[in-house]
Each structure stands twice: as structure tokens, then as C-alpha cells.
Structure 1
Amino acid sequence: MSDTQNLIENRPPSVAALFLERVAATPDAEAYRYPVPSRSGRGPDDWKSLSWAQAADRVYAIAAGLIELGVRPEERVALASATRIEWILADFGIMCAGAATTTVYPQTNADESAYILSDSASRFLIAEDAAQLAKVQEKRAELPDLGHVIVIDTDGADLSGDGVLSLAELERRGAAYLTENPDLIRKRVDAITATQLATLIYTSGTTGRPKGVRLPHDNWSYMAKAIAATGLLGEEDVQYLWLPLAHVFGKVLTSGHVEIGHITAVDGRVDKIIENLPVVQPTYMAAVPRIFEKVYNGVAAKARAGGAAKYRIFQWAAEVAREHARVRQDNFRRTGSSSVPLGLAARHKAADVLVYAKIREAFGGRLRACVSGSAALAPDIGYFFSGAGIHILEGYGLTESSAASFVNPGEAYRTGTVGKPLPGTEVRIADDGEVLLRGPGIMEGYHGLPEKTAEVLEPDGWFHTGDIGELSVDGYLRITDRKKDLIKTSGGKYIAPAEVEGQFKAVCPYVSNILVIGADRNFCTALITLDEPAVLGWAEQHGLSGKEYADVVTSPEVQRLVQGYVDQLNEGLQRWQTIKKFRVLPRDLDVEHGELTPSLKLKRPVVEREYQHLIDEMYAGTREA
């Protein structure tokens, strides 16, 4: 048996057990960094640290506090909070108590929050602040089984109600309970079985109610060992964690962290990413494609604002980066060497001084690699960052597979693929092109929905992902589209909208979101939104300064600007893929309006319903087959 097989097959039954092992192994090592407001209230945040032993003190106090309140094994404790250090401590506290975490996005409205709490039969709720507390208070009559509500940030929160207390109070009570029962946590963790429920994550459905995905402890224990087995991270790494922890992509990173023992800097405020990166100086970061798209668009827009000469230098450097990345990756695939021709190397060195070095500094200057997941990254954007020295390792997984099923292997990564399966995960491609997965990361099933579970999970363990993909001879997977998102035109041609959308994002530096439409139509159209800072910067240079965003994006000047990029896109497409008409929307798509999931994936049916009048307008007067 190989070391990797031994590592995975002899894993402990729970990530709670791994947490106890990590604390025992490196109690004094730094585990977490987190921001606190500066004392003056102005300027950048201060950052504090927790060692593994200090983190454990809080985790065990939370666990003991929950046990004192009456939580029993596998009972659900809901956690409604943005990404912050307390989310991680509370989650480990819940698991060390033998209970299970129900994750709730902080953006979830009161109705859906109440549905998730009710459907999951959550007995307790840990709420981030007064706003999260208010949601449950509004719906309290509909939640007769909900007992205590614990509030993390009590500013402005009403703690006078029955069963409402602060997280600090829970920890005080838990610490006191532990002095009377010093073996409490060890006994609870030792009693956890591999099949015991650890986490319920509700998927963001595009239609209907979300489904609760049941992930037992063994899923997370396997993920921790499999992530370590990839060799992508070591104890010396510093991870910057900003992803929503209510989402499986963010959550899985906490398991890998415990197994490997590196430092994790935690701050879920997306608007602080640019400010935090030079402070944290991470060596590793996971992100979604939208972040890389925004950085790319911001760099391009800044170059354009610097004048024609500066923009030409950026365009030249961008092409050099892409060529360098393609040649280097192709050479590595064929020969195992990442060398490039001398002429290209010289151009790349000059471009590095002029452009790339500044981009790397903006990421903190120490970044070895990023992992991108949750949605497809446009290959041209991936190649750009690769050539600029920001190595983006695309990965793939679903909530139902505990997030990390595939990832690109370090130096051998290939832009445009999601890499190879994690050790212990099997993959096959069905006759219709659907990707099927099997392994220890696959969910137990959908909570209370055996019929829905049977639709996607075969008796022999194969899970139907709903994604269409291709496997290379040497095992790299390329996802081409969602099975249900493939477009068939009235002329019988199949189109993968995500592929066209990705190409447009690489062509147009002002795009924020694009939705290609064409199912059962005789040509394709698109709904497009523009990145507000980028397009307003362009507007300043083109006689539209002082105008509101909605006025800018609907102006004739911007229509001509976008048409130019659509024409450029169409030059590289097959005739049936080309965008014949488009509409620029008056505002960007967002989570609050339900058009994006919290992990920033497009909800196509929602957008199409909302803007059906514009779609009808684009097809008005045409004859549909």
C-alpha cells in the first residue's frame, strides 16, 4: 500500500478527531489570523493571531456550552454568519460536541432562513449579529423546535428574549462546565462515528426550495487527508480565506487546514480583499472566477485610463503572458520541462518588469498558487494570470461531493481543465457525456428527500453531477457545460453557453456578467452587465463624466463600445454560436436580487424570467422554428 493510500484509508472517523490531533501535535504554532478594527477606528484593521491551543480553548468551550444547553449527537445547530474567525470556531465546537452544523448564508432572507431551520430541524442557532437575530425573531412562531439562539456580535442585538445569549456567555458557561467535566470533549469526539451527520448544506436552487445535502463526518476526514495528499500545501503556507463558509468550497478549506497545520488568515469581507492581500501576504488563496475577472478588468481599465501608450503596453504584455503560459504548459506536458524559446523568454522578462511584477505585488508578493472553483474560469484569463506569475489551479467539485473532487496538480497544471481526481475519488464519463463520481467525498443523500437522492445517486455509489465533461488520456478533466444548460438552437445545433460567455469575458475588459440565450431560437442573443468601476472610468474619458451608472450603460456610446467587443467575439465563433443581438442591463446582477448564488454563480432561469421582456424584444419579428 502506498503512503497516499495508507494516509486516506486509515483516516480517523471525524475531522473533530483530526482537530484534537492537530492541537496535540502543534499546540503553540500559529493557526489563525483575523482582523479587528484599529483602536482609532480609522485606517487599516489590526490583525490578531490564535495558536492551535488558544483556538482549542475556545472550540472546547463552545462545544461544552452547547452540551450544557442540551445538544445531542447529530442534532442540528444552525450557523448564520459571514466568514469570520468565530464561524470556524463555532463549527468545530458544534462538531466536537457531536452535533451537526446547518449552514445558512447571511444574505438569506427571513422566509428562506425559516424554511432551512425548519426543514433541518435545527435545535439551536448561532447568529452573527442583530440582523441575523431579527430574521429568526420575525419567524419565531414558525419555529417551535428552535431552542437557544446564540449571538456572536451583540452590538444592537436584543438579548432579553428567552433563550437568547451571547457567544461570549456560551463560552463562559462552557469553560465552567469543562472544569467539572474535563474529559467531556474527548468522550464526545471518541463517540463520533464515520457515518454520523456533520454538516447540512442547503444548495441554492434556481427553482423551488433548496435541498439539504447531508455530509457525514467521514466526508470531511477524507477531504482533509486527500487535500494533504495532493502536496499543494505545506505547514509553512499562509492561506487567505475569504470564501463564504456556508458554501462547501469555503468549508472544505477548514478541513485541509486542520490536517496540514498551516496558517489561515480569515476575513470574509469581499470589499477588503484588495486591502488585505498586501497585509496578509498569502502564499495560497482559493477564489471564484469572478474575483480574477474583476482583477483583470481593473488592471486593463487602469492601463486604458493611463493613456493610449500605456494601454498598448498592457495589451502587448497580456498577449505575451498568454503565449508564454501556453508554450510553457505545452512543453511541460510533452517533455516535463517548462522552458520556453529565448525570444519569448526575453519578451516575457521585459513585460514582467513593466506589468506582471505590479500585479504580483497587488496579491501580496508571495503567492505561489490560487485554486479557482465553483464555476468555469475563462481560459484566456487563466493564461494571462499564469503568464504573469499568478498560477491559478482550477478545481472542480459540488456540494454533493464535499467540494474538492478534482484539482490541477501543481507545476503540471493545465489551464482550461480542472485537473485530476483527488486520491481516492473515481470518475467516469457516461454515454451522454455526463461526469459521474464515486468515492468517500460523496454525500449521504438529500435531507428528507429519498426520491431526489435516488435520481442522482446510484446504488453502487456513482453520483450524477449534471455536468458535461471530457477526460484526457492522462486523466485531466475538462468541464464543458452543465447538462441542463446546453442550448439547442431551432436549427439543431448544440451550444455550450458558458464557453461563449467565458470567451467574451476574456475579450471585453468591462464585462461583469453575460448570459447567452438561444434555446429553440434561430440565433443567439445575450444579456450583458458591465463592471461599474471599470465602465465609469471609461466614461470619464469619453465625455460621460458625472453621469449615473444606469445612464452610462444605456448610452449610445456604451452600446457602440460593447458592440465592438461582441463583433470581436463573433470573429472567433462558429456561425451558429455568434451573438446577433444583445442588451446591456441597467444594473449588475447580484445575490440580493437572487440572480447570483452566494458563490457568485449565475442563476439562469431567474435572470431570464426577470428580463424576459428584453429577450422577447430581441427576438421580436423573427420566425421561430
Structure 2
Amino acid sequence: MLWLKKIRRVSESAETGFLGRTLPELLDEGCDLTPNPEAFHQWTTLGWQTLSNQMMRSAAEDLALGLLHLGLDRGDRVALLMHSDTQFCIADMGSLLAGLVNVPIDLTQTLENIIATLQHSEAKVLIISNLDLLNQVAPFLGQASHLQHAIVAQVPDRWGQKRSQSATHPLEESHLIPSPSACLLLSAVHLQESEQNGPYCTEGIKIWSLEEIQRQGQPHLSDECLQQLRRDIRPQDLATLIYIPESDGHLQAVMLTHENITANALAAFDTLQNLKRGAKEVVLSFLPLNHIFARTLLYGHMAYGHSIYFSTATRMMKHVQEISPTILATVPLLLEKIYSKLLESAHKPTRFRYQQWLQRWGLQLAQRYELGKPLGLWYGILLKLADPLIFSRWRSLFGGRLKYLLSGGAALNGNIANLFGAASIQVLQGYGLTQTSAVVCVNRERLNYAGTVGLPIAGAQVKIAPDGEILVRGPSVTPGYYKNSELTRTSIDSQGWFHTGDLGVFTTAGCLKVTGLKKDLFKLATGKYIAPIPIEKRLKRSPLVDQAVVVGADRKFCGVLIFPNLLGLRHEAQNLGLAETMESLLHHPWILERYRAIVEAASCHLPYWSAVKQFRLIPTALTVEKGLLTPIGHLQRAAIQEQFAKDIEALYGNVSKPLDQPNIPPPPSLYLEGETCPTFAQSLNPKFTT
């Protein structure tokens, strides 16, 4: 580790071996060095379906040639609205091999953000997982003026034959989808099995299945053609656009090159000293691949020829037991849930008192453990005694073979890392951003401290600015924001340092510790970004709200502290015929229902995961004199969170149902703010996105 001018980095010799690669080269490396006949596993209702890494490469090559056959040019954008599965991998790698720039879209985004992403990126092709998703977005695709093709990854059996039949047996126009590519009218009956009407695509958008596009590419398949495709891709070429929110709530497109991501994936994997190449390393992947954390790890697994099982958040605990992974990447929320269950089981009454005593003893023993600190002789003996009795059961929750439990996307409670460490479950917390291609720092096996995010990976340079902001420079830092030179200029200075908006310090061991936020953005425990300012502005439009503070950093959902406009509230109470004290009003069901409606209206146009789930009314004012506002009226968030810490904790205590209030009929005069949130402003139906 070099300590030059307070810049933390590894030696330069460790950096150069990871440069100059493209993303298709990583898949080629895995296929050539460690061919794996069962590299990709997709869960279906019929069980696991398997692809070798060579089959994955062939499928991607067919798709690449098929996409080019559509008339796309190098650098054109291809949007991916897909589940995180094998089909995503094919679409991702196929578009990259064709020299195209792909744009993964979060399935949980609102329809308006999905269409805005298609329009802003000027995507010419949309690859979508299935017809159910197509049904939801199709009525709005006409607003994406550059879109020419929609490719459906999974279609019903004999879908192509049914398309041909619909040409000779056209139905009523209200049930048809234009398909200019084949001069057909596609019947909604042939597109889906649900009872709702079929989607209505704007004329000019051609509908294909993924298999059709791959078949179109196969006649052009040759070794020379494939070699030329690879020669045409340069490491510095743009690979992907990833849309993330800025503090104003608007989505901005982070540009990442092939080398940005390949250098990051290889350097990150190099920190895992006991990681082997080949099929014996088993990976359970359940995080969304539209996020750079899971996606960068995926490319590393491809390069190493690992066996990858794709799961979902709802099925992953079952699949962990089934496949016994050696590597698992997660976000803190999952570990928090497991931690809570361990605490609950230790205090849950049972007929077997000895068993309960044993659980409590083991838990108390583990809670004394501190990563990175030497064990006393007697404490070490106690840990060994507890291992077969208690800790082995904890390890079995993760399948019993886990070598690496990687946590990223948000801050992890240090107590959780310590507790699992006592049970020999190695949790390695890391730090990074979309703009740094995922990983900046990560803890190491022999240098792992709870509450820190470890040392920089090879190539990453990290320093702390005079105001405490974490700055990052290196080959994995984004070249900037697509179509936003001003944001690029303010985020990356003239010396190439990216300003993260996070605050941090280095410990005496050289590990980075994230201490707070400079930017007006935070992450939930799920790793999702939240922009609080737009929500707060919407709430303050109500005459009943003086100030609002959205909270939820490293929590499972958003909450809000509402500081009522007391004059407006008193006037509202008079209208409702309530002559109670202010303290009583703040707990009156009619008043709470009034504020609940205000909060729900403010959450319209937000993805469901960023909507406010709980609120709390606080009868005081935020002022400059109290140190809670700046002289120009901006929130002093750190001071507010410190002063109202108990109120914030109350938002997250024993929540059974979001915004649930007593079932008391409101008076006839109660006016509930806003109307039903329009479909366009809502997230896609979660039934089809998980």
C-alpha cells in the first residue's frame, strides 16, 4: 500500500494486468481456460435449466449478428427491460459483441421513467423478458420516438406459427398490433393468455421474438465474421448507460466503457485470495443485473468459469439450501433479516429450556466478537465449543459451504458483520458507486474490520477532500454523464477525481470508513437510491405541512418526519368540528388520515420502493436558530437526524402495514388530497417483475 500525498492505492504493478480488456473477452476467457458444461442455471417451474459457457457464447454470437442484420450501427443503443436471468446475459453479451451500447432498465421503475429512459437514450431496440411486460409498456412505446424494434425473450410455444396464421385471419382492429416487419397483424390472443386486451404498439415498431433475431444472424455466422466483431470492439468503447437518480429526482445516464467494467471486475476478484477458477465455485445470483454491483460480479464469474445459479429475492433462501453456494453477494437488508431471526429465535419461548439457553449463550458469545482483533485464550476456547453446537447451524442457513459473503449497495451494520464473523461466516463489506463501475474498496480476508469498507482495489486511488468528501480516480471511473456535460464537469474535476458525494475517513489500518453524506441522496438497505428533495417539495405544497424530512438511509423503506403548519392544522380542525388541544389533534384518526392522504399523493410518480411507507407528526418548527436550517432555508439533515433520532426510530418499530391507520369512518367533510395515481406514474405490476 502506498501512502503518497494522502492518496490510498495499491502498487502500480498490480494495476496494469487488468487493463485493456473488453467484456466479450471475459466470457471468451472463461470458455477457453475453464470450459464449464453447467455454467448458467435458470430456475423454472420445471426445475433448473442449464447452459454451458460455450452455449452462452454461441447464443450471444447469434444475437449479435441478428441485431446487426436489423440495420443497427455500432454505438446504437439497445434497452434491456428484463429479469435478472440467463436471457439477460444473452441479451447483454449479444448487444456488446455487436458493438452496441446497452441500457438496462430497472423493472421496478415507473412507466414514465421507463419511457423517458428509452427516449433520452435514443434506444432503437427494446429487448423485453416476456409478453406480460410488453403488455404493460406497449401503450406508451409511441412516446419513444427512436424505437424501431421490440424483441421478446420468452414467447409461447409456436408463437411464430400463430403470427403467420393471424395474417390470414385478421381480427378486429382494436385487438391488433401492427408488425410492419412482416406486414402482419398480430392478434392479442397469440401474445398472451391473460384476459386483458393486448398491447397497442405504435405503427413502425417491429415485434420479434429473441429466437427469430438469433435465427436471422445464423446465416452470417463464420469464424472470420466473429473475429471481426471482436476486433471492432475497443476497451475504450462505450459499453452501457446506467440510469440513476440525481438529487433533483431526475434520472441521469452514467456512461461506462468496456475497460471501466472489466478492470473493476478483475481487480475486485483479485482481492479474494482463496477464489478458484472453474465449476467448483458455485454462485447464487439474485440481485438485479440492471445494477452495476451484481453485473460487474457477473462478468467476473464469467471470466473465472464459475457455476452461476440465477434466483430471485423471494426464492433465494430456498435455493441457498438447495445449491449450497460458495459465493453469495447480497445487500445489507437480507443480512439484517437473518440477524433479526437469530435474535428472535434466541428469545422465543420453547419447551426445551436447555436449547433456548444454548441459543442465548451462543448469541451472547458472538455479540462479543470483534473482527480484526485478537482472541483471548479463554474466549477462543468458548468459540470452538460453540461452533458445533450453535454456529454450524448458522452456517447451514447459507448452505454450509460459503467461502465469501459479499455485502454491498448500502452500509452494513458492524454488529452484524461481527456476529457472523464469530460463526466463521466471512462477510466482506465493500464500497462503490455506479460511477466507479461498482467497487472502489473492499475488506480482505486477513484485513477485515466491521464498520469499514476496506482497502482500495487495484487501480483505484482514493483520497479525502478537505471537507471530508471521498474522491476516487482510476480506470473504472466513468467518463461522464450521457448528454450532460455540466454534471460531468461538476462531478469530475480537472485532475480526474470523481466527487462521490459521500463523506469518509481512513482508519489507522488504512481502511476507508464512510461517515455520512454530502449529497442529497441516500440508499436504502436494498441498495436503491432515494432522492428526498422532490418528495419533500411535494409534501410542502400542502397548507398543512411546514417542513418535511425524508429519512431511510440504510433502512428497508422511506419514512418522513412532518413538521405541521400549526395554523393550517388548526384551521383544518375547525372545518372538521374538532375543538381539541394541538397534542390531541396530532393523534386524532381524522387528522392522521388527512396527512396519510397527503403522503400518498406525494408518493405518486415514484417507484413503489421509494414511496413513503410511514410518517410521524412533530409539533415543532425547524429554524436557523436551532441549527436545523441553513441561513438560506436548506435542511441541516445531520442535525435533524440527531435531534429527532427517537422519532426516526419510531418510524421503523414493529411496522405491520405501511401507513395503516385505525378503521374509523372519516366525517363527510373530510377532503382527501389528490386523485388515484395514474397508471403511467406507477411502477410495473410487481406480479410480472419478480
TM-score (norm 1): 0.74
Aligned counterpart in structure 2 of residue 173 of structure 1, from 203, 216, 227: 216
* From 194, 211, 231, the counterpart of 2:272: 231
Task: Give the match for residue 579 of structure 1.
Answer: 646
In 1, the alpha carbon distance for the partners of 2:658 and 2:508 equals 41
Matched residues, number: 508
Distance 2:247 2:315 in 1: 29
The answer for the alignment partner of 2:122 in structure 1 is 121
Aligned sequence identity (%): 29
Q: C-alpha separation between the residues in 2 aligned to 1:102 and 1:16?
A: 17
1:230–1:10 distance in 2 versus 1, CA, 3 Å: closer
Check 1:136–1:183 CA distance in 2 against 1; reply closer, same or farther (3 A cut). farther
Q: Does 1:386 align with 2:453?
A: no
> Structure 1 residues 343 and 365 mapped into 2: Cα distance closer, same or farther (>3 Å)?
same
For residue 147 of structure 2, what is the aligned residue in structure 1? Answer: 146
**1:21 CA drift (Å):** 3.3
After alignment, is 240-249 or 404-413 more displaced?
404-413
Residue 5 of structure 1: which of 13, 16, 19 is its match? 13
Conserved in 2, the CA contact under 8 Å of 1:14 and 1:193? yes
Cα shift at 1:588: 4.7
- In structure 2, relative to structure 1, the CA distance for the partners of 1:7 and 1:174 (3 Å cut) is farther
Tell me, yes or no, if structure 1 residue 221 matches structure 2 residue 262. Answer: yes
Q: Which residue of 1 aligns with 2:627?
A: none
Shift of residue 154 of structure 1? 2.0
Partner of 1:259: 303
CA distance in 1, matches of 2:361, 2:326: 28
Q: String of CA shifts for 1:434-483, please: whole Å, max 9, x gaps.
A: 10000011011111111111111112110000001111233200111222
Cα distance in 2 for residues equivalent to 1:110 and 1:261: 37
Q: Does 1:330 align with 2:373?
A: yes
Quick check: 2:15–2:458 contact (8 Å CA) kept in 1?
A: no
Match of 1:57 in 2: 58
Q: Report the CA distance between 1:381 and its aligned residue.
A: 1.3
How big is the shift at 1:227? 2.2
5 Å matches for 1:87-126?
A: 87-126=88-127
Q: 2:343 aligns with which of 270, 295, 300?
A: 300
1:137-536 correspondence to structure 2 within 5 Å: 137-155=138-156, 156-157=191-192, 163-178=206-221, 181-205=222-246, 207-232=248-273, 233-235=275-277, 236-267=280-311, 269-307=312-350, 309=353, 313-324=358-369, 326=370, 329-331=372-374, 340-484=375-519, 513=557
After superposition, residues 63-74 of structure 1 pair within 5 angstroms as 63-74=64-75
Partner of 1:412, secondary structure, is coil
* Structure 1 residues 121 and 501: alpha-carbon distance in aligned structure 2, compared to 1, 3 A threshold: closer
Amino acid aligned to 2:213: L
| Contact 1:198 1:217 (8 Å CA) reproduced | yes
CA contact (8 A) 1:278 1:362 kept: yes
Contact 2:138 2:200 in 1 (8 A): no
Structure 2 CA distance for partners of 1:312 and 1:206, relative to 1, 3 Å: farther
Quote how far apart the aligned CAs of 1:296 are: 1.4
The structural deviation recorded for 1:391 is 1.0
Contact kept? 1:113, 1:135, Cα under 8 Å: no
Q: Report SS of the residue matched to 1:410.
A: coil
TM-score, normalised on structure 2?
Answer: 0.68
* 1:465 partner amino acid: T
Structure 2's unaligned 5+ residue stretches are: 1-9, 157-190, 193-197, 523-549, 564-613, 616-640, 660-677, 685-690
How many Å separate the matches in 2 of 1:473 and 1:518? 40
Cα offset, 1:171, TM superposition: 1.9
Superposed CA offset, 1:354-383 (max 9, x none)? 332112112111001111011111111111
Cα 1:204–1:356 change in 2 (3 A) is: farther
SS where residue 122 of structure 1 aligns? coil
Quickly say closer, same or farther: Cα 1:597–1:160, change in 2 above 3 A.
closer
- Kept in 1: contact 2:430–2:440 (CA 8 A): yes
Q: Structure 2 vs 1, CA of residues 201 and 575 (structure 1 numbering), >3 Å: closer, same or farther?
A: closer
- Whether the 8 Å CA contact 1:240–1:285 is kept in 2: the answer is yes
Secondary structure at 2:400 match in 1: coil
Letter of the structure 2 residue corresponding to residue 443 of structure 1: T
Unaligned runs of 5+ in 1: 39-45, 332-339, 488-496, 506-511, 520-552, 555-573, 599-625
Q: What amino acid does structure 1 have at the position aligned with 2:23?
A: V
By how many angstroms is 1:32 displaced?
1.8
2:519, 2:11 → 1: CA distance?
A: 40
Superposition CA RMSD, Å: 3.5
Q: Distance in 2 between matches of 1:373 and 1:13?
A: 25
For 1:211, what is the secondary structure of its paired residue?
strand
- Structure 2 residue identity aligned to 1:126: I
1: distance between equivalents of 2:340 and 2:13? 43
Shift of residue 260, structure 1, vs aligned partner: 2.2
